[in-house]
Each structure stands twice: as C-alpha cells, then as structure tokens.
Chains A and B, each alone.
Chain A
Amino acid sequence: MVRLTIDGREIQAESGQTILEAALAQGIAIPHLCHEPRLEPAGACRLCQVHLTDASKAPVLACTTRAAEGMVVITESPDLAERRKAILELLLSEHRVACASCDADGDCTLQDLAYRYGAAEWLYGAYEHKEPVALNYTSENRGIEYDVEKCVRCSRCVRFCEEVQMASALTFDGRGITMKVNTAHGRPLHASDCELCGGCIRICPTGAMREKAAKGAGRAKDLARVGTTCTYCGVGCTFDLMVDRRKNRIVRAEARPGSPINDGNLCVKGHFGFEFVGSPERLTDPLVRRGDSFEKASWEQALELVGRRLREIRAKHGPTAAAFMSSCRCTNEENYLVQKLARAAAGTNNVDQCATTCHAPTVAGLAAAFGSGAMTNSTREIRDCRVLFIIGCNATEAHPIVGLEMKKALRRGATLIVCDPRKTWLARHAHIHIQHRPGSDNMLVNAMMSHIVEQGLHDRKFVAERGENFEAFRENLRGYSVEKAAQYCGVDAELIRQAAELYAKGSPSAIFYTLGITEHSCGTDNVKNMANLAMLCGQIGKPSSGVNPLRGQNNVQGGCDMGAMPHRLPGYQDWKDPASREKFEKAWGVRLPEDPGGKITHFIERAGTGELKALYIMGEDPVMSEPNQGKVIAHLRKLDFLVCQEIFLSETAKLAHVVLPGACFAEKDGTFTCSERRVQRVRKAVEPPGEARADWQILCLVSGALGYPMNYAGPAEIFDEIARLTPSYGGMSYARLESGGLQWPCPTPDHPGTRYLHEGKFTRGRGLFHPIVFQPQKEEPDGEFPLILSTGRTLYHYNVGNMTRKVAVSNQKQSANFVEIHEETAARYGIVDGQQVTVRSRRGAVTALAAVGQRVRPDTIWMPFHFAEEPANVVTNDVFDPVTATAEYKCCAARLEPAGGKP
C-alpha cells in the first residue's frame, strides 16, 4: 500500500497501481479514452495527463506512472484543461459528430469528455471523410459493425483482441490520419481469425464498434438494464440484458469490467447468442398430438391430459413406469421442483438430467476421492496459476471465458501443458502439447505419476498427512512406464517426463479437464486419476491449485446440487440416509420413494424394453444428445406417453404426445450455479411469448394435476426452501445473492462462501488414492472401421444447437456440420478440403463437410454434434461408464467415405 494525495485528498493505493487506477478506484475521474482496466496501459490518448506536485511543470501520464508514496497529484488545472480540450477538439475534427442518430448517444466517453471540457466540434471546419466508409472488413459479417467515422483510434479494440482475447484478428491498417482498424489483409471479419466475441464492441468508448442487430434499436437511455447470468456454458458469466420494454425485446447484452467471473468479457454466444429468445420458432401454446401432427391446446386441456395420462400409467404400471428428465438449462428452483415432482408427486426416484451425459463421472470420481465433486478453485484464480495442466479440455471454445483466464495466465508467464488429441488453440500455444490418442488418458497420467514417484517429485508430506491408500496406488503405478505409455499414446516419452516434472514442480499447478476425460467408458476412473495426480503432488486445497472440471451446461452444477438425479437428494444428501429422508419427508409431507430410480441412459433402455411407459422431459433433447441416435428414436417411439416442456420444437419434442411451452432464461427469475460453485441470479428481462410460462410455474401446475399441489409465490420462495433443506446452500438467500452471487459451501447466513475447496482437509476427511488400471476404449479401430471418431463442441454453437442455430452470427460462421480429418488421412482417402464425406460406424452414417488440416491426429477424426441436419450422434457408440452410465462419445471406431459411395 502506498499513500498519496490526489487533488488534496489523501488516498491509499495498492502498490503497483498506476495513478489512474488509484484515482479511479477512489472515484476521481481523471479523463481517459485509451485506458481500460483489462488492458495494459498504452499511453495513447494523452488525456490522462496530470501534474505532479507543481502545476506549472510538464505533466505526466496517469495511466503509465505508478503511484508512489507521498506523491502529490493534481488532476485539473487550466493548462490541463486546455490540453485536454485541444486533444478532444482534434478527435472531434475527424469524428462524425452525429450524436442525434448514434446508438452510443449517452453511452459515449468522447461525448462525455467533450461536454466536460467544452470542446468545440467544428473548430477545424466541417467534418468530411474522403474515403468510402460503407465497405470495410465488417460489411459482410452479421454481428459486428465498424464505423471508421466514429472511431477515435484509441486502440482499445485492437489491444483487447491481442491482449485479452489473444485472437489478434484486429489490427491497425495504415499510418497517421489514414490509420483505421482492420483485419489482416482486410479479410471479412467472420473469415478472419476473429472469434466474434464482441469484446471490441463493449470496449469501444464511442459508437464506432456496434452490434449490427442493435442498430437503431435503442440508445442507453431508451433501454432497461437487467442483470442476469448466461444461459450457455457452465462458466457463469454475468451481464446486463439491455431491454426495450415497449417492444418486449432484448436489444443487446452488455458485460461490464469487474463482473465476478467474466470481468466484462463475453464469448460469441454470450454476446450475440440471444437472438433465439425472440425467435418466431418459439413455442407459444401447449401442443397436443393428433396422429402425426400437433394441435394447439389450452393450458387446461394440456394439463388435464398430462395429469390424466400420468395418473393412469402410475395406476396401471406403478410409479417406476414414469421417469422425469430435468434440465441443466433451467434454474436451480426448477431442477429442485422436477425432482420434488418426481419424488413427492409421482413417487419415484426416476429423475435425472444431463450430467449423466457429460460430467457425472466428475461428480462420482471426485466425490470418491475428495468427498465432493466440483471445481475446487475459482475461475479468477486461474490467472495466478504458474503451471496449467489441461487435459481433454478445449476451454477456449467450450468454456471461452475460462479460456481467457488461461490466456491471461499464459500472458503472465505461466507454463501451459496441454494433453489433447487435437491441436486446439491452447495446444498450439502450449509449452508442451501431448497429442495422445483418444482414450489413452489413464495410460498417460499413470505414466506421469509413475515418473513423478520415480523422481521423488511427489509431495511426501501431503501424501502422508492427507492421503490414504497410497501404497496400493503406488504399487499399481509400477506397471506404467513412461516408454510404454509413450508408445501406446503415440507421443514422445520426453514430453511425458517434462510434463510430469513441470506439473509436479509448479508453484502453484492446477489441473483442468472437461469431457475429454469424462465421456469415456472409463470416465470415472479418468476423473479419479486427476484426483490422484493432484494429491500426489500436493497441488490441491490452495489458491490457484486444485482439480478443476469445467462443467458443461450453464446449470449442470446446480442440477446436480438440486438432487435432480436418482441416488442423491438436494445437496448430495444420500436418499438412503434416514436423517435426510426424514428431513425431506417432513418438509414435503410425503413418504419418499424407495426405488433406486434410473439415469437417462436407463430411461432410454427401459423405454425400449417397455419397462418405462411415460417420460416427462423438461428442456432436454436426448435424440440429439444421446449416442446412437437411431436407437434413441426407436426407443422413445415405444413410450405410451412422452411430455416435453420446451422452448422450441426440438428433435425429441417432435416425438412427444404433449408439448408444453416454457420460458427461456431471459423470461423468468431464478438462480444458476456455475462451474466454480457460484450461485448467481437470473432475472426476468422480457415476457415469454404467447402462452409460454416459466418452467417452475408449469411444474407446479403439473404437480397439481398429479394431485400434489405445489404453491409458491415465486422463485425466491422456492429458493428459501432449497436453502432450508440443502446445507451447502444454507446461508444463501436472494438478498445475499444480489451482489455477485455466493460460492458453496455457504452453510450459514454469515458465511462468505468458499473460494477454493479442500483447504487443510478434504470433504471426506483424507483424500483417497485410487489405483487405476488402464481400460482401453470399448470399440477399438479395426480393418473395417480404422479411425477413431471423437465428438465435441465448437466455439460458435452450443450443444444440440437448439438455440445457437437460430443465431445469425453463429450460423454465418458455421452453418453445417463438418468433420476434421488430418491431411495425411485425407490424402489416403482421396478427400479434399470442403468436400462432402460420409462418416460411418457400426451404428450409422452421417454426411458432413471435410475439414482437412492438422488439427487432429492421422488416426483420428473429429466432429461437433450441434447440427440436427447432420447429427453426429447417429454414429457414436452407446457404451457407458459402469458407474455413471455416461456414454463414450470421445471414441468409437469409424471410417470415412467420400459422399456418394465407398472410396
């Protein structure tokens, strides 16, 4: 801390802070255009000049001068005002001062400063731009517009693109007065390296960078600002929806620097992905099947039908003949209600959600090792990691804002170790990239740990004090030499050693993994090995050090927390535990069911066998998301009664008997719990379309129709019930969540929440080492199907594409499915980039565009699963992790055929 005086006020500044940062933190508004808290100081705009001690001496730049003890700063003087006015007048001289028709009117730093310093707009004659401005690099893309006539060349967008997003898509073109923002060689933005994050828009101090869709749709003063949480991935970004109340329309999303997780940053989906809310394809009325088609129905009719059919099936086949799928897209309150509906109203533990599809092994594996299954660190701690061990995790695409934190760590000098069969962005920028074959993770990790133990690099003290079962674990490692692993994984042994040593020695090191670890038939084992590695090196229970699964969906953490799964009650309380049962039975006024329930995978299996007669699905699309699509459809068709509660007529809803129109995240209140265990508010910004209703309301109505009325005044009341019954949420309330949310565990109202887990003690006491025996993938490549197919997400789309496929910006970037093929493989098959190819497995075939390059290994092909027209899950293998029933999406045997026949 240093003490300094600014304008006669004595203030304290953190050491290392600049004068500008220190002043702004105290609300002293030194003018600036090029400074932005997320960027390195540039010293470009020259507006933040301040005097030190003596107002008659030449000033210094506040943005590049560090605050020092005893400094006396003068931020306003006639000389400074004159300087600032002169600079602003120059800026205005090339600025099209068209505030009257500018979207940024009232939200423009240049405007504010010109007003503050009385800068004349026309000092140098009438504004005139000689270059044609209509056509530029943003002309063709659908998201971002650059208006050079409003650009002040502060370089914030260019620096953001380089320093924060690290896409380096934007650059300056030209010199002097001709300088303007451009892409390299003026390529259209969507065809450049741009990731369409929209950061350039939000960081622009004027109206030069704008959302095309928001043009003319409202100025800051016309719009209401509703703070909410993103509905896409599990990172938990918060932002404000800017809403035109009169038109019931979301105009744009705005994140502000300082937001707890994303610090003002958003990805393409967070910025441009809310077009679906107002989509004409939204469901507006309940639909009831009549033969092959649907008819609109009133809520009364639809609810009567749902209640009657479910009661009939229960009466005839017992409560376990019905199952409920909850949704990780929905709020905690709604997930809570679904499991309450299943357990209290329908009397069965047949309730599950998509964690089974993705991260169930995390919950199971980490719970086994540590006692609880969630990201142990916070997102903001990533920037302080010194070594990042990233495995099976393409964060810059699947969790872009976590990706930004990783980029930030990288810029701060951290070492990146990336284990991924694909050359992802992180892999390309890593210090070590281990491009191992899909499904060989445990071979690799065992070998690393074997090397660490061999070298004595493990944390003996930590292992001794906090671990258990170490000897058995160590014994198991003997079978996994680095050489053996190198050979099996198809990588250089030296890389494995280096990675092991760097991770073990890192201070601190942290592990990041995603579905590349969990979506295997050995997913739970994989996760346990992550825990093993961290415990072995003592890299857990500290800031910026731990095991960090990046959860997939916005509220998959919350869905699990809320007990929307067969074997756990809210807060992971064991449904068999008498005390827990008693607590819930008392609260709900019912006897809890005692059947073991089933998971999504089981529901589909049982639908096929006829064991399951009715399935109630809220906000899930198993047709698109479950493996072996053909089988899924066939089985769902066998159901007597299928209800879908949806916002769009999804591929699954098309098979339903009743479709109930739900409200999306922007149309209701509630909470989401993101990957870093932070519970954050979701707020209603617009009214749902037509007759659509918030899912919690629908669930209450359905419950009533089943004869178990649930009456809540609103989500806050539901949340209070959750808090009462869920110890880790016990200290939370909507009032406390107002400012930035809380991270569980937060057991009491005075508990501040928990930034990182397992400090000093694991949830289960001691950490349990699991000796992991390597299991190969269930379907090995062979002569007939010689390639390994892996599936995953891209940056521009989200999961089944239900929402993002309705977003113009994403669709322009990626409008159809593709399959990544290594150029050697392509050459072998005679496939050229951009042609149609068919990917075939034992379960089916799908045709997509060939994307030939070096992203994948020659023995591997990869495709995303976002496209209903070319669904990847037709091909994937329906084999499952024995513990969690999670499917092996990440590897199945496949072959390539140029479209139209065998090669």
Chain B
Amino acid sequence: MDRLVTVRAFREWQDRLALGLDPNRKTITICGGTGCTAFGAPAVQEAFQREIARRGAAGEVPVKVTGCHGFCEKGPVVVILPSKVFYPSVQVEDVPEIVEKTVLRGEIVERLLYVDPITQRKVAHDHEVPFYARQQRFVFRLNGVLDPTSLEDYVAHGGYVSAAKVLSDLTPSQVVEEITGSGLRGRGGAGFPTGRKWALARAEKGEPKYLVCNADEGDPGAFMDRSLLEGTPHAILEGMIVAAYAIGASQGIIYVRAEYPLAVRNAKIAIGQAQAAGLLGDRILGTGFSFDIIVREGAGAFVCGEETALLASLEGRRGAPRPRPPFPVQSGYLGKPTVINNVETLANVPLIIEKGVGWYRGFGTEGSKGTKIFALAGKVNNTGLVEVPMGATLRQIVHQIGGGVLKGRAFKAAQMGGPSGGCVPAQYLDLPIDYESVKEVGAIMGSGGLIILDETTCMVDIARYFMDFCAKESCGKCPPCRIGTKRMLEILERICAGQGQPEDVDRLEILANQVKKNALCGLGQTAPNPVLSTLRHFREEYLEHITLKHCRASACPALVEAPCLHACPAGVDVPDYLTLAAQERYAEALAVVQMRNPFASVCGRVCDRKCERYCRRTDLDEPLGIRDIKRYVTDAVAAPWRPPEPWSQRQTPHRVAVVGAGPAGLSCAYFLRFFGHQVTVFEELPQPGGMVLVGIPEYRLPAERLQRDIDFILSTGVELKLNSRVKSLEELFAAGYEAVFLGVGAHQGQPLEGIDPRTPGVLDGVRFLRDRRFGKAPERLGRTAVVGGGNVAVDAARVARRLGGQVTIVYRRTRAEMPAYLEEIEEAEQEGIRFEFLVQPVGLAAGSKGAPSALKCVRMKLGLADASGRRRPVPVPGSDFEIPCDTVISAVGQVVSTENAWNLELTKSGTYRIDPVTLATSRERVFAGGDCARGPASVVQGIGDGQRAAAAIDRLLGGSGELPDQLKLSRQRFAVEGEAAAARPRPPLAALAERTASFAEVLGTLGAAEANQEARRCLRCDLEREKAAKK
C-alpha cells in the first residue's frame, strides 16, 4: 500500500476498513497460536480449506487464522462465524461434518461441543464457555479475532486510532498525564507506575532515547506476552508508538526470546506493514514524529527479563544485571535514557487512549487499575490465559474460570508470580488480587503465572522445584544468588529426600532472608520467595519431612514408596495386597494387611481411605477401590485368623499397660506383642472396641466383624481387662508395668452454643450413639434435629432415623463443606433425612415439660475463606426462623474427657501433648495416641498411633523398635493390561426399605470377579520406584 502521509488519510482509510467489516459474514476462524499449532491447527486449517474448496465455497467462506484464544489446552480451537459456534480440540476428521452442518446449514455438531467440567453441560458458543464468560477480556479482546498478519484487519477493528489521536491531538506531556492518570502499572511484575516511568524518561536530557518492549517472558508457564505478540502484534506496535511519542524516543526495540519464533515472525511482519503504511519510520502519518522499531532476539536466559540484564544482552554482552541506580531511564541502552515496558503494559496503552482514563479506572482496585492476564495452570480443570480485572479473587479464577480443582481434590495453594513468586494458601482464596495484596501474603504478581496446587502437591517439593529453576537461571554474578540458591536447593533436596536435619528449617529461613536482602537483582532478591512463602504457610510440612520422614502429599519420591502406602497412617503395603487379591491369594493378602493393621475387617468397612485420595490411578480415571478390596479379602478368608509368624517368636520379661481398648490401644497391644512384651489392656466399658464399638453403628460395621479383629488381636496373647477403670498412672507403675500407652479416646461431646445441654430432649451425639449401642436409647425421638456436619452427626441422624425419628440435619455451611464421608451423606439423603444447610442454631423454643418445641435458627451465608480455604459462614441479619423439633442432637465435635487428665500436659484443644515421632507424653514412660492425642481422628490414624507408640515403647525397653518387614509377596503389575480407563465397581447397597427399619449392614461386599478386576487396576507405583532405584 501507499504510505499514509496525513492523519486524515489514515482516518479515511480506517473508516473504509471498518465499514467493510461484515458481522454476518460466514467465516471459519481457527486459532494459529503456538498452543493450537502444537495440537495440529495447521492440518485442521488445511482440511477446512480443502473441504470448503471441495464444496465450491472457497470464495464465500474464508478460513481465517487468528491469534491465540487463551484456552490452549483445548486446541485446536475453531469458531464458526457469524454464529460463534465454538469447537474445541478439533481434529482433521471432524472437519467435513463441521463444514456440512455448521458452516453450510447453521446447525450445531453436538458431539464436538465443549463440556463444562463442573456442570457437565454442553456449551455451544464461545461467549458461553464459563472459561471465557467469567473473564473480562479487554487487552485480549482482539486476540482470537484478528488475523495477526493483517494490518487492515487490525485497523478495521479500530487499530492505530489511538496512535493517530495521540500524534494529532495530544502533546507528549498530555499523553504522559493520561497514562499516569489511568493508574496503569508495569505488567512485567514489579508494578511500577508506567506514567511515572515515562515522565522520568521524558525529563532526561540525553539523546537519543530508546523504548524497549520487554518480551523476554521467562517464567515457565506464563505465555501472555507471547500470545499478545503473536496474536495482536500491531497493538504492541501501537502501544510503542504512543509510548515513544510520550517520552521522545526515536528508536524502539522489541527484545523477544528466540524460542518464540511465531512472535518474532508476526512482530517482524507487523513492523514491515506499519513501516510501509507510514505508521512507523520518518514523520509518522506526516506528523513531526519519527520512530522506528526493530526486533532483537534473546537467547533465552531467564535473567534477561531483568531490565539491566536485558540491556546488557541488547548491547551484545553477557546477560547479567548491574546495580541500580543509574536506572535505565537515566542510563539505559548504550548509556542513553531508555524506557523498558513489558508487552502487556504496552498492550494496555492503546486501550487507555481509546476508551479514556475514566473508563479504565473503572476496573481494578484502589492501587491497581485495569485488568491483568494470568496464565492459569496446574491442578485445575481449565487452563490457559485468563484476563480478569485487578482485584478478582483466586476463588473466582480457580473455581469459576478454572472450573475448580482437578478430580475434585482440595485446593491447597496457588503458586503466583513465576519461579521466584510465592505460594498463596487456601485461606487467601477470597483475597482480591492486586500488586499490594499479593505481596502482603508473601507472593508477587510477577508477570502473571498462576499455578494451582492441590493436596497431592508437596509444598517442600514445590519450593525445591522452583529453587532448582532459580539456581539454574541465576546469572552467577553475585554470591548470594549464585551460591545461596544452590545451598537452599541442596537443603530442600535433602529434606525432600528424607535426610533433613532439625536445624535445616531455621538455616533455610536465615539463608533465604540473607539472599533476599543481599542479592543484586530482582531474580536473586525474589528467588527465596518459594522457600519463604512455603515456610510461612506450610512450615509443618517441612517439619513432617524432617522429623516424621513423612510427605503428606505423598509426592516426594525418596520418602514415598507408593502414595497409598505412604498416605496410610498405618503404613499398610497396599500395592502388595491388592496384587495378591488379584491373584486370589487372599490369606496372604490378609497377612500383608495385618503386618501393619490388625483391624483389617474394621478398616475394610469404615476406613477414611487416605490411600485412595492419593492414588495415582486417579490421574488416569478413578482411584482404586482399596477399601472395598480389603473388605472383600477379610470376607473371603475364614476366621479364626491366626497371628502371623513373627508374632510368636519373641518373649520378653517387660510388662506394658494399655489404657483403652479402642483401635489405638489394641493396635498398640498387638504390636507390643510382636516385640514380645507382655501387655495388659484396661477397658472401662464392658466390651472392647472403643469408639469403633460405641461410635459406629452396626449398619456400617456389624458387631461380629469387629469381634473378628478383636479376637485376632487377643490371639496374639494380649491380656484384656474389661470394666476396669484405671484411676492413676502411679497405680500401674506400682503394679510393675514399665510403660503405659493411653488410648482413651475423645468421648465428650461439645455443647451447642446458646443451648443448655441439660435440657430434656437435648442429646449429645456421641453419648446418644453409645447409649443406643448398649440398649439405652430414648424411647421416642419424634422430630429430631441433628446439629453438625461430621460423621457423628450423620451417624446420629441415621440411627435416629432407624429409631423412628423424623430427622433433619442442621449444618451451618453447605453440603460441599460437610466433613462427613460423601457416601454417608448420600446414603442419609436416600434414607429420607432432610438437610438444612447454611443454618446456625441459636437457641431453643421451649415446649411442654421443658422439652423443646423448635430449634431457633438463623440463616447463614458464606463469607471469606478460613485457614482451610473453606468459606466461613456468617449470619444473615434478620433471617431468624425455627425448625420445629422434639429432640435436638448436638454433634459439633468431641473433646477428651478432662476429668481424668493424668496430670499430663495438654494442648490448646485439650488433647494430650505428644511428641510427634515417639508419641511420648509429658510424663516419662507414658505414651498416648488416637483421639485423646489428636482430637477426633480416623480409625486408621489410631491404629497408626498404636503402632508407632509400640515401636517407641520397644525402644524404651531396649528393643530396636523395628516393625515386621513388609512381606512383598507379589512382584507383578497388572496395570499394563488395565491402563485403559476403567470404571470402578460400586459395592451393592441394601434395599432402602430394609435399611431404615433395621441396623443391618447397608453396604455390601464386591463380587469376586469385581474385586479381582478392580485389584488389577493397581499401577504398582512401588515397583516403579524399585526400578528407578536399580537404575
């Protein structure tokens, strides 16, 4: 085209092009961004062209390659205009059908539509896809629309109008004022006010001045700059023209890493077009302003994103930073005043000029205006580029735009700001994100990397991973960064490998702070952030790695033989028994379980299945049905069960007392017998089993199943004294016991606030369950309100239901936040139990005889996140109402009975304070575990405690404390044949009518074939590790 020599000529041209846009024109647009290209977009594009040509529609329906849509994981992305039908992940073979139906006939191809991962709903149009619908795309507005290689397309959509306006209507200082007024801050990370930077550069005397567009986007996972430069290169050029005019620069440089070939290509094409059109070069649009741009490719060092290192690289020197001052605006490229702006910053500039400062300031927070693009990645359903106003919350980004955490796992933290950013934990899910707020919680905005971490992510490992990156990318110039990152990495590696030393955490923290304080440039100063932020929010994970050699995410390879095994508090060798079960070697499978867990039957039914939460199979399809298989095994092996071999081998003269015959106490006794010590278990109740007996109704755990496990334990030679209340520890020591294990549980229910627990008709949930077990249930319950959301609440509700009550569960949050097992909630719902969510009882309405007539309640709504990330319920003023009821059962938590504290030190929550490794209490030779030490915990946690305490007691008594070797009876992996996605079998449920009428077991056992098949899905992660170790 001819050079445009006046602003007027440009405007006329622009008008013509804008008028030429036909919103009703049929067009096939296909994303040509790097992500979609990698997914095969070019082949799909060709297929469309071929198909269109084959149908003789070549002239009518153009196939347009656009910039990136941002939803890169769904590439190649195709949008059919004018209806905007959205097809993700389009393959070549889909093309004829799309052309046939959608392009030519205006129909929708259902099977190709996007399915919302949350609602499972199909979505037809791109603006309806939640990923897009919840964003506010301003900077990105043209990215998936324009042909990046067409100047005309950009101009038709309003491109260069801002540049023309600035050049013809505004003075440079007016432009600086506009940008200053807009509140735009540098999107590269530091958030320096752009207008102020321009003003400083403008005031500098040196000539010439340079403008550098920093497109050295180094953060792994962040690609918004790349996407912008690839998709709307002219917008960047336009931003640069405005910036250059404002500061008086005559030369612009786009510094872009060479591994962005498409960005380099598109930027160069755009520059060529702009030069030819008179939008760059001498006397732009005939004004007195001359400015040109070149592209310089960097070799891809992370540190070259740091502006002084970038300048060194531009000048042909090693990319290393230098101290500031002087700042680049004073002495930059070749010693001349230089403004360095990030791509996204420059992309905001035309928008501000076009729409006005007032409009722009309408978005964002007090200190951070406009929008920010995040690169959303990690354990979240939708990943890609996300543009939201400053001040959006993580919850909005993760749960609304991102579609929630993958596989329904719990959100743990968001890693923000790239490798030298920090981890923002769940409690800040509702924090409005802007430059200051992110910094306050220990992360940085950075260029907008946002990686979602779930409960299977180890925070120490995350710190290690990012430290590894920083250590490798350190330029090496200053010792704090060069050596400090390496030393931090070594400590982190040591901790992850289970070789951490107790002093490592403090050492790491001191070192991290020194590196932060002393490093030369931004890279070094922020490199400790991953460490500092994880130490700040997840310190206990470090300590667990060091003292317990435990990785709660089951992620650190050196500590984790297999995630299931590691996650199991009792350390059961899950893969081994699954494989044995698959081989129908049930007795051996049972023995493998009993090597670590004497309550095989109990755990086959009521275990909380930590193993399954961390099962790697989840990433493929579904976690293994580990508990169901265990149950199958215990059902398949005939009782009585004999103790495994090692249990009969030793006999020592030492005597140990165990107080409480619950899972913790009996497990402790069982393992003490393994070590050969003589054990006496004292139980206050007439039957053994503790909370398993009195807290878990028979419909979940039939009595004879519990009895089997107890018989098995007693068969190892444990002496059990029932109806025996231990009055003092001295008494035990006086009787010759050398050590004591306390497993007395937490049987004391917590009262409801505002309700006198002594009121007739007001029951405590735990007590209710126990009384019922011993035949002391109240005669008539009537309308029963059960308050609480945990397992005790649901159990109490279901028991009440079976006793004839009309039951309502009252819970102050929503179903999603209920701590009770999901299947129990579902079963309760099936059994006709009502739920009142977001309701908080505040008192009783008195009925006759002092019994209640109704529960006074107030409605709640969800507020900001608490420490766990769950939203805290807050009362809705004036929403008081009543739930008519005859009985109120309180199930809002239990505590350890304080009447018999044995003079032990207690924690703040009233449990016995114990050493996390040995479970020793504050008294010598006294150990404790289970609920009395941890608060209400799971059965398997109690078993694990008993086991560890037994080992510690053995060491105390002169033994090695080493548990029996894992048997490792199987060495086979079936998953090779079973890696195809397979559904997990569901155990049968008893018929509903029978369920509500009796205490018969609700859940059935899997069939033999099902159990066998299910066991074959195990991936045998433990063998992988063995293989790796051999290598």
Contacts and interface: CB of A to CB of B under 8 A. Distances in A.
B149 interface: no
A42 interface: yes
A781 interface: no
Contact of B518 (A49, A155, A178, A179): A49
Given A87-B518, A175-B301, A176-B482, A43 B473 contact: no
Interface string A809-832: 000000000000000000000000
A155 B477 CA distance: 8
Contacts of B471: 176-177
B729 interface: no
A94 interface: yes
Interface in A466-487: none
Interface in B462-488: 471-480, 482-487
B476 A46 contact: no
Contact of B485 (A61, A152, A176): A176
B482 A153 contact: yes
Contacts of B318: 171-172
Contact of A93 (B325, B487, B519): B487
Interface string B291-326: 000000000010000000000000000100011010
Nearest to A86: B514
B490 interface: yes
A190 B491 CA distance: 41
B518 A86 contact: yes
Interface in A53-90: 58, 61, 64, 82-83, 86-87, 90
Nearest to A175: B476
A45 B484 CA distance: 13
Contacts of B473: 175-176
A43 B322 CA distance: 7
Contacts of A176: 471-476, 482, 485-486
B923 interface: no
B482 A177 contact: yes
Nearest to B524: A46
Contacts of A93: 483, 487
Contacts of A8: none
Interface in A453-505: none
A432 interface: no
Contacts of B301: 175
Contacts of A87: 479-480, 514, 518
Contacts of B482: 153, 176-177, 179
Which of A43, A83, A94, A177 is packed against the most chain B CB atoms within 10 Å? A177
B477 A90 contact: no
Contact of B486 (A41, A61, A155, A177): A177
B478 A45 contact: yes
B517 interface: yes
B113 interface: no
B487 A90 contact: yes
A124 B514 CA distance: 14
A124 B475 CA distance: 21
B520 interface: yes
A175 B475 contact: yes
B322 A90 contact: no
> Interface centre among B474, B479, B519, by most A CB within 10 Å?
B479
A44 B487 contact: no
B277 interface: no
B511 interface: yes
B475 A86 contact: no
A901 interface: no
Nearest to B514: A86
A178 B479 CA distance: 12
Nearest to A33: B479
Most buried by A among B471, B472, B477, B514: B477
Interface residues of B, number: 30
A27 interface: no
Interface string A145-188: 00000001101000000000000000110111111000000000
B479 A46 contact: yes
B483 A46 contact: no
A83 B487 contact: no
A91 interface: yes
A177 B490 CA distance: 12
A125 B510 CA distance: 16
A86 B514 CA distance: 7
A384 B479 CA distance: 35
Task: Report which residue of B322, B323, B484, B507 has the largest number of chain A beta carbons within 10 angstroms of its beta carbon.
Answer: B323
A44 B486 contact: no
A806 to B, nearest CB: 39
Nearest to A49: B518
B322 A86 contact: no
Contact of B487 (A82, A124, A172): A124
Given A171-B318, A172-B318, A44 B518 contact: no
B520 A46 contact: yes
B490 A44 contact: no
A153 B485 contact: no
Contacts of A82: 514
A41 B322 CA distance: 9
B514 A83 contact: yes
A566 B322 CA distance: 60
Point out which of B471, B486, B518 has the most chain A C-beta atoms below 10 A from its C-beta: B518
B479 A91 contact: yes
A178 B472 CA distance: 8
A61 B322 CA distance: 11
User: Most chain-A CB neighbours within 10 Å: which of B322, B476, B487?
Assistant: B476
B490 A124 contact: yes
B514 A44 contact: no
Nearest to A65: B325
Nearest to A177: B486
Given A43-B323, A64-B323, A175-B472, A153 B518 contact: no
A44 B474 contact: no
A77 to B, nearest CB: 13
A42 B483 CA distance: 18
Contacts of B476: 153, 172, 174-179
A177 B478 contact: no
A42 B322 contact: yes
A176 B487 CA distance: 12
B480 to A, nearest CB: 6
A91 B478 CA distance: 10
A83 B513 CA distance: 10
B483 A177 contact: yes
B140 to A, nearest CB: 34
B941 to A, nearest CB: 36
B474 A175 contact: yes
Contacts of A124: 487, 490
Contacts of A172: 318, 476
A853 B484 CA distance: 48
Contact of A45 (B475, B479, B487, B490): B479
Contacts of A42: 322, 477
Nearest to B475: A175
B470 to A, nearest CB: 8
Contacts of B518: 46, 49, 83, 86-87
Given A172-B318, A177-B482, A61 B323 contact: yes
Contacts of B519: 46
22 contacts: A41-B323, A42-B322, A45-B479, A46-B478, A46-B520, A64-B325, A86-B480, A86-B510, A86-B518, A87-B480, A90-B479, A90-B487, A91-B479, A94-B486, A153-B479, A153-B482, A172-B318, A175-B473, A176-B485, A177-B486, A179-B475, A179-B482
Given A43-B322, A46-B479, A49-B518, 15 more contacts: A42-B477, A43-B520, A83-B517, A86-B514, A91-B483, A123-B507, A124-B487, A152-B479, A172-B318, A175-B475, A176-B485, A177-B471, A177-B482, A178-B476, A179-B476
Interface of B: 301, 318, 322-323, 325, 471-480, 482-487, 490, 507, 510-511, 514, 517-520
Q: List the 5 closest pairs (A to B, CB-CB), nearest first.
A: A179-B476, A43-B323, A86-B514, A176-B474, A90-B483
